[in-house]
Amino acid sequence: MVYHYYMKIKTLLLTFLFSFPLVAWAQVTVVRVKNHQVYLDTSELKTPVKKGDSFKVILSSEKLTNPKTGKELGLVYNYSPEGLITEVQPLYAIGKLPSETGVEIGQEVVLQSAPVTTASQKIEVQKSDAPVVLHKKITYEPVAQEIVSLSSANVTGAGADNIVTLSDKGRITVWQRDGNKLKEETFYQLPADKKPLTISAAPLRGKDTAEIFVSFYDDRLGRINTQILAYEDKVWKTLDTLPYFVKETGCGAEKTVWLQRPFVVGARPGNGRNLAYQDGKFTAAEKSLTTQHNWLMGMNLFPSGPNGEEYLIYTTVNGRVRLELPTGQTTEFKEFSVGAPNRVKYKQELVKFYPALQVVQTQGSTQAAVVENTAKYGLLSSTFGQYESGKIHFLSFAKGRLTPTDTVSLDGFVYDTACSDNAVLTAEVLSDGQSSVVEILK
């Protein structure tokens, strides 16, 4: 859901109050801002604020006037993305916002109480087969692109915290968050004969800004390559082109970038090698990852062993999510099949690419964020990559099996996901061909 402008009109005041159980908004003020955290003066509140309550900061307001009659209709408010209260003290509370969105000291805040769950509701939830939605999401206003992949990194400068997207037309766009919108900072265009597959971003050269790794299928040569780009001094530079498929895993500063030799056996890829920058060039490091002949795009490491072991979690060729233990035992989640529209034709064979699997620390445990897309015209259409809507499922590993803990529904279908310090990122492709970037907060 995108937060648009809200109108404060006297005739709608009662409806507004009954629709949203707010906590005395005029009495709550921002008194300190530190990165994504805001400190709120709650000393005048008559109803106590609680951990888990949500809030929005009023960034600005303007008068709404009927241009014909000149009658003033009230005020129009511009809000920040929704945040959560994380700590409560006697006279103040600390809240966390999903991004730095121009919040300043002295601005007023709207608080919304978390819903109270009764004992009977708890029993009903426990009996329900459907996961309860626990994660908050932020949906930015749509952009006129069909986004096939995205990442998050400092591209335009140190601490920029950009979102980087790759469109189906090969346009690489670097965005800056601007309230509930994405503001374009710069872009780079791939040649028309390069079919875009996935994008990654990480600072492998040890600089303050990240390099961008865009993997594509070369229609003319019939092979997959990866172009490495950097945006320096406001100029795009090509640093190298590698004969590999490249994909990031991990979140924020903990990201690792892997490369993979494509089409090793028929249309099956090889194992992964850690991508490093050594002696002035990008090269394969010693660390390797067994991919079971699957694409790096649909796999990750799942740290869930009793002694810190990392299990391999990946998408199988039939679209199932499989977790492989160090003992060789496996468990599959068979409730749905993972699918995405990306396809390339290689030696008369249709090769699929699955969305990335994100592994995050969320809701107090390690969980995998997995994409499920709904086929547009039935099961057969998934073979050709035709989808209409999507979901992000969060799966935990307990008692030897993968178990769903939460499901976040989307308005469009998904090609790929990414992971930042604070959220799982994806882009939902809407029915009109536009895309909305979505951040699902950890």
Residues 122-151: tens digit of each pLDDT: 323 333 344 455 789 999 999 999 999 999
Q: Are 210 and 76 members of one domain?
A: no
Residue 361 lies in a domain: yes
Residue 69 lies in a domain: yes
Which residue, among 409, 400, 323, has the nearest Cα to 359 in the 3D structure? 323
Q: Are 343 and 352 in contact (CB under 8 A)?
A: yes
How far is the C-alpha of 374 from the C-alpha of 414, rounded, in Å? Answer: 10
Contact call for residues 62 and 112 (beta carbons, < 8 A): no
- Asked if residue 79 lies in contact with residue 58, where contact means CB atoms within 8 angstroms, the answer is yes
CATH number of the domain that 76 lies in? 2.40.10.410
Buried b (16+ CB within 10 A) or exposed e, 249-268: bbbeeebbbbbbebbeeebe
pLDDT given at position 59: 86
Which of 230, 228, 145, 238 has the alpha carbon at shortest distance from 184? 145
- Are residues 84 and 165 located together in one domain of the fold? no
Residue 15 φ/ψ region, left for φ over 0, alpha for ψ in the -120 to 50 degree band, beta for the rest: alpha
What CATH number corresponds to the domain at position 322? 2.120.10.10
Identify whether residues 312 and 352 lie together within a single domain: yes
Same domain, 165 and 255: yes
pLDDT score of 365: 86
State the amino acid at position 191 in one-letter form: P
- Is the residue at 389 inside a domain? yes
DSSP label at residue 254 = G
Residues 63 and 144 grouped into a single domain:
no
Does residue 297 sit in the same domain as residue 403? Answer: yes
Q: What is the pLDDT of residue 367?
A: 93
- Examine residue 132 and state whether it is found in any structural domain, yes or no: no
- Residue 72 sits in which domain range? 6-116
Specify whether 353 is located in the same domain as 278: yes
Residues 63 and 209 in one domain: no
124 lies in a domain?
A: no
Same domain, 392 and 246: yes
pLDDT at 379: 55
Do both 244 and 348 map to the same domain? yes
Q: Which amino acid is at 31?
A: V
Cα 219 to Cα 262: distance, rounded to the nearest angstrom: 15
Statement to judge: residues 270 and 336 lie in one domain: yes
Task: Decide: helix, strand or coil at residue 16.
Answer: helix
- 3-state class of 14 per DSSP? helix
Q: Give the pLDDT of residue 6.
A: 36
How distant, in Å, are the alpha carbons of 52, 152, 159 from that of 80? Answer: 17, 20, 20
pTM for this model (two decimals): 0.70
Predicted local distance difference test score (pLDDT) of residue 349:
84
Give me the number of domains the chain comprises.
2
How far lies 69's CA from each of 6, 43, 61, 125, 380, in Å?
A: 22, 42, 21, 52, 58
Identify the segments of the chain with pLDDT beneath 50: 1-26, 116-131
The answer to whether the CB of 366 falls within 8 A of the CB of 303 is yes
The answer to whether residue 417 sits within a structural domain is yes
78, 59 Cβ separation under 8 angstroms: yes
Of the candidates 418, 320, 324, 317, which has an alpha carbon nearest to the alpha carbon of residue 372? 320
Are 279 and 201 within 8 A, CB to CB? no
Q: What is the pLDDT of residue 24?
A: 37
In the 8-state DSSP scheme, what is residue 432? T
Residue 226's pLDDT is: 98
- 348 and 253 in a common domain: yes
